[in-house]
Structure 1
Amino acid sequence: MTTQHHDDPHRLASAEIVVGIDGSEAADLAVRWAAETASQRGRSLRIVHGLDLAAAEAVYGIYDVITPPVIDAIRCAGVDMVRTARRLAHQVDPTLIVETEVSEANPARLLIELSETAHLVAIGATGAGGTLSHLGSTLLAVTSHGRGPIVVVRDTGTEQQTRRVGPVVVGADGGPVSETAVAAAFAEASERNTQLVAVHAWSDLYHDRFAGLPYTIPDPHAETAGQAILAEQLAGWQEKYPGVQVIRKVYLSGPRRGLLEWSRSAQLLVLGSRGRGGFRGLLLGSTSNTLMQTAHCPAMVVHPQ
């Protein structure tokens, strides 16, 4: 049952789940994941495709081939994509309310605009990491500038592809941006009726890469201090979601390794848009950027309201 949250447009009962598509296998996976999520939460699904006709005209215009038939062909291809995606969504749940939209707009701008009121926006990602190989700059733009939760759906590399078992995992560094991620992670764990794993890195330095220094914390005082930071950041949310069991993990350095390892068994990884050491003008921190490309499960990036 979806609950009304009048102070948060992303939690309103009317808020849709939005998924951006481009006809790729990664987009098909994102459609299935988004349809499963919409079905379980009693929300409608909106499947969107941006034609970016302005860019097409700029490219094809160089060769004087951007004629009305070419534009019609681009539009028809977009319509075919959303029709196929709609069929995929209804394979998940034949009763699901599915809206489709083919827009002339740039796909990143379209998804960013829709993210203002969407329950969440999903985008597919492919590859083993190292590059933003699906949607390229669109994925980076939407995760950097979108509002509310943006979920990058990655193939887990298993027969199941995306998991519906395992914990929700969140990176918690004690900062204000992390507070937004923690709030979203508790809500997701509650929706999914699963455990929440809160991961805290005592230092942003990656000690384990140098001179064989340990990854776990050998100093009990540092361990105690890290647990205290987690306890303070989680306290209010544990009271709000008493049914969510929380596992706390503190590591010596760099959050990437711990979060990446947990993503192997998690059904969702939740990240803040910037870490405690991030620059104010940097809209997407290096940890979130890296994990979007390498996580073994869908990764949700949340931005402060």
Structure 2
Amino acid sequence: MNSANGAAVVVGVDGSESATRAVRLAAREAARRNRPLRVVHGFIWPLLRVPVSAPAQAPPGAGLRHQAEQLVGDAVATAEAECPGLRITGEIIDGEAAAVLLGESPSAALVVLGDRGLGGFAALVLGSVAVQVASYADCPVLVARGAARDAGPVVVGVDGSPLSRAAVEFAAGTASSRGARLHAVHAYTHPASTGPGDMQPLVHDEDQLRGEEDQVLAESLAGIAERWPDVPVTREVTHARPVAALVAAARDAQLVVVGRRGRGELTGLLLGSVSQALLHRADCPVAVVRAPE
């Protein structure tokens, strides 16, 4: 996360109900983190050479530029109502929504957006904006979806990789700011290989395997209690597929946090199958954390 002084929580808006939920979520996150909120709208029409000003003799409020100004103003008003006193700015930026948010990400503390935009089939809209931003942003990305809860744990998926450690640290800091419990979930499906040519054993000691997987989780949580002593931590090691385990844990959670790509993912899937599945299936907001530099 960009820890520079003044780094804002950035939220993308397009006038949709999903974006309005994202604005409320972003305002609360900015207030918890004592950061300003920056509301941005990607204004694509100039790129398409569409006239954006109101034509002569048009009624007041006509024109695409004016409509964009209105939706940004409405989003700022929504954020102010959600968290009075929050430092909020709004801006229209020429460009496609995902490109605009990615351009904001290097200087942002967090980028927030909805899981559904305006127009098109829902799954395609999710794929074209939320997944793109979560895949390539230079800061953590929070996608507003599912139920907005003020109770319940912050859930984090752990697989023992350096990336999942970054997810744990983000989740612990978020749990601290929310006064929530941290629930760390490590799911496994078979004995782990130790090399690319290893054969999986036909018979294995389940108790030994469970002990090894417990150790993976313990190592990923090392030092968390010392850094965030105010955060209660619960652990779950389960013989299950990671997506199923995290979807189940998210049912009563405030937030579920995952790394951009976990251990064992195909390198071509930048976001990763687990992260992408949660963006479609989790019943709470999802935070996607990038790998540390």
With the shorter chain as reference, the TM-score category is 0.7 to 0.9
Deviation for aligned residue 1:280: 2.8
Change (3 A) 1:279 1:133: closer
Counterpart of 2:91 (choices 62, 82, 101) is: 101
- Runs of 5+ unmatched residues, structure 1: 1-7, 58-65, 157-161, 206-217
Change (3 A) 1:133 1:163: farther
Paired with 1:204 and 1:298, the residues of 2 have a C-alpha distance of 29
Paired with 1:191 and 1:137, the residues of 2 have a C-alpha distance of 31
Paired with 2:122 and 2:139, the residues of 1 have a C-alpha distance of 24
Deviation for aligned residue 1:69: 4.1
State the AA in 1 paired with 2:160.
G
Aligned twin of 1:139: 130
Using the aligned pairs only, state the percent identity: 39
Deviation for aligned residue 1:223: 2.1
State the AA in 2 paired with 1:122.
V
State the AA in 2 paired with 1:33.
L
Paired with 2:278 and 2:156, the residues of 1 have a C-alpha distance of 12
Counterpart of 1:179 (choices 150, 161, 165) is: 165
State the AA in 1 paired with 2:183.
V
Change (3 A) 1:67 1:88: closer
Q: Would you say 1:287 and 2:261 are equivalent positions?
A: no
Deviation for aligned residue 1:55: 4.7
Equivalent residues in 2 for 1:107-146 (5 A)?
107-126=97-116, 132=123, 134=125, 136-146=127-137
- Runs of 5+ unmatched residues, structure 2: 56-61, 192-204
Counterpart of 2:82 (choices 92, 95, 105) is: 92
Change (3 A) 1:96 1:134: farther
TM-score normalised per structure 1: 0.82
Paired with 1:227 and 1:53, the residues of 2 have a C-alpha distance of 53
Deviation for aligned residue 1:179: 1.5
Deviation for aligned residue 1:56: 2.9
Aligned twin of 1:81: 71
Change (3 A) 1:110 1:231: same
CA contact (8 A) 2:53 2:66 kept: no
Paired with 1:121 and 1:250, the residues of 2 have a C-alpha distance of 30
Change (3 A) 1:123 1:52: same
Aligned twin of 1:258: 245
CA contact (8 A) 1:46 1:99 kept: yes
Q: How many residue pairs end up in the alignment? A: 270
Q: Secondary structure at the match of 2:149?
A: coil
Paired with 1:166 and 1:85, the residues of 2 have a C-alpha distance of 27
Equivalent residues in 2 for 1:194-233 (5 A)?
194-203=180-189, 219-233=206-220
Deviations 1:194-241 (A, max 9, x none): 111111112279xxxxxxxxxxxx933322221111111111223222
Aligned twin of 2:201: none
Aligned twin of 2:24: 32
State the AA in 2 paired with 1:108.
A
CA RMSD of aligned residues (A): 2.3
CA contact (8 A) 1:132 1:140 kept: no
Aligned twin of 2:176: 190
CA contact (8 A) 1:51 1:107 kept: yes
Paired with 1:68 and 1:17, the residues of 2 have a C-alpha distance of 28
CA contact (8 A) 1:118 1:148 kept: yes
Deviation for aligned residue 1:186: 1.3
Deviations 1:58-115 (A, max 9, x none): xxxxxxxx34647982211111110110111111122111100101122211111211
